[in-house]
Amino acid sequence: MSPPQTVAGRYRIEGRLGAGGMSTVFRATDSVLERSVAVKLLAEHLAEDEAFVARFRREALSAARLQHPNVVQVFDSGQDPDSGRHYIVMEYVDGPSCADLLRESKRLELDETVHIVRDACHGLDYAHRAGVVHRDVKPGNLLIAEEMNVTKLADFGIAKAAEQTRITQVGSVLGTAAYLSPEQAHGEESGPPSDIYSLGVCTYQFLTGRLPHEYSSLTELALKQVQEPVQPITDIRPEVPPELDEAIRLCLERDPGSRYRTA
């Protein structure tokens, strides 16, 4: 079904930015404030899941409390009266995601990686202190605002909304499995250390062009996370300083208590 042309009588849809299993994101113009925004429309089949919709709203509210230069700002949320679609209106970030950067070049430059990850750490630390865990840190949720050369974390808390709903019960894995912490992969409650692990996976991939654990199934990934040490980055890319290599691999420790205490 095609998206509505206008959401909430205010946001004019102008083009699709991206889509996932739970939602589609569109670029839109806020006709009241005359600015570009990003509008996330919840997938129609999820609107019937009342538990999911309730969580989706709660998480939108908690994300809207976060106001930080390294976090995508949430402006508005609700249900469009005409189409019945649930929506979240967010700051529009003019620039690529880190997933786009990885598609263009298999790995990133050292200075670029440090800049991106430092910004992400600031955003995560702020959110964690506010009691909000991201739960879905991956390259696609790290957005680069090109004009300011600032990295912003998108989609806070959306993964939390999907826990314990029909979507997860039918066995689909939220987020990209490679970026899940071992505790998330085992279905345990995820806290700030899970976000630190996921950001560690991203950083490892930015520098090496590969994941810490290559896998062909979720079972194989879970086993490797438990049994296999992570190959040092310096083996793959010798110019990476050993201190940075050790810092990233500390984020990738299997035991949450062995990782950094804060982002």
Alpha carbon separation from 224 to 33, 59, 199, 208 (Å, rounded):
50, 32, 18, 18
Residue 95 to residue 44: CA distance in whole angstroms: 28
Q: Which residue has the tokens 């050993």?
A: 242
Query: For residue 211, how many other CB atoms are within 10 A of its CB?
Result: 17
Q: What is the DSSP string of 1-68?
A: -PPPSEETTTEEEEEEEEE-SSEEEEEEEETTTTEEEEEEEEPGGGTT-HHHHHHHHHHHHHHHT---
Structural contact between residues 92 and 36, judged by C-beta atoms closer than 8 angstroms: yes
Active site residues: 136
For the chain, the straight-line distance linking the first and the last C-alpha, in angstroms and rounded, comes to: 41
Give 173's DSSP letter: P
160, two tokens: 């939390």
